[in-house]
Amino acid sequence: MRDLVTGSAPGTVAPSERDLVERFGVARMTVRQALDALVAEGVLQRFPGRGTFVAEPRRQPSRIASFTEDMAGRGTVAESRTLAADRVKPPAGVARALGLGPREPVLRWRRLRLADGNPVCLSDAYINAALVPGLFDGPDLPDSLYDELTARGRRPTWAEDSLSAGVATPEEAGLLECEEGDVVIRLTRRALWEDRPIEVSRSVYRADLHTVSFQLGG
């Protein structure tokens, strides 16, 4: 049944239950259950009183972008300055988010992120050390965390983001070159590779230099 509608334009009338019963020589209930499954998958769509039709293809979730990729998509050049890169005992909340015990170490990578030379973001990333062995062992740090994870076959496949507004602390204002108390955007991310949490990050963006974009669908 799936093969019958594959390649058909959205809105094409699907074969009727009677036609399918005759074609495959199966019970009408079997045909109905198969149609129900294809409707649930989004391959077909039912309209009461009109029938069953080939559905519009569902949009796929957007690829989880790194800061570098995000800036490139905006037509700006990204740059990072490492403020700290070490192996640390995770804060309790980070350990829970990564599914680790309180004594299991994580890699902390704190960076100031710039776009076209302007400081835009202060980022603290905590990475599951067991999933990226040797990340900080070389003479140079990777240019991009997500590029490095991609090279290792462990790029995040799912992310949970939390967004809020706040005001810049004295430290954040000094690094982001804004005024203490200026409005900032705080973004917390928990990223998973397959079903394993691999990164928790906390980022602070200058609200006057950065816009957060979303893609939504119904």
Q: What is the pLDDT of residue 3?
A: 83
Q: What is the CATH number of domain 2-54?
A: 1.10.10.10
What is the per-residue pLDDT across 49-86, written as a single tens digit (0 to 9) for each? 888 999 887 655 557 888 888 888 888 899 999 999 99
Q: What is the pLDDT of residue 27?
A: 92
Lowest-pLDDT choice from 40-44, 178-182, 187-191, 207-211:
40-44
Lowest-pLDDT choice from 63-67, 177-181, 188-192:
63-67
- CATH 1.10.10.10 positions along the chain are 2-54
Q: What is the pLDDT of residue 216?
A: 58
Element (H, E) at 69: helix 67-73
Pairing of strands 106-115, 183-193: unpaired
Q: What is the pLDDT of residue 109?
A: 97
How far is it, in rounded angstroms, from Cα 119 to Cα 79?
A: 9
Residue 135 binned pLDDT confidence (cut-offs 50, 70, 90): very high
Residue 33 binned pLDDT confidence (cut-offs 50, 70, 90): confident
Q: What is the pLDDT of residue 89?
A: 92
Give 31 or 167, the one with higher predicted confidence. Answer: 167
Q: Is 189 helix (H, G, I), strand (E, B) or coil?
A: strand
Superfamily of domain 67-206: Chorismate lyase-like (3.40.1410.10)
How far is it, in rounded angstroms, from Cα 121 to Cα 82?
A: 12
Give 173 or 63, the one with higher predicted confidence. Answer: 173
- CATH 3.40.1410.10 positions along the chain are 67-206
Question: Residue 148 above 60 pLDDT?
Answer: yes
How far is it, in rounded angstroms, from Cα 201 to Cα 58?
A: 30
Give 7 or 34, the one with higher predicted confidence. Answer: 34
Half-sphere exposure of residue 126: CA atoms within 13 angstroms, side-chain side: 22
Half-sphere exposure of residue 202: CA atoms within 13 angstroms, side-chain side: 10
* Highest mean pLDDT: which range of 6-10, 28-32, 115-119: 115-119
Summary mean pLDDT of the chain? 89
Dig out the tokens for 196 from the structure. Answer: 């394993």
Q: What is the pLDDT of residue 56?
A: 81
Q: What is the pLDDT of residue 61?
A: 55
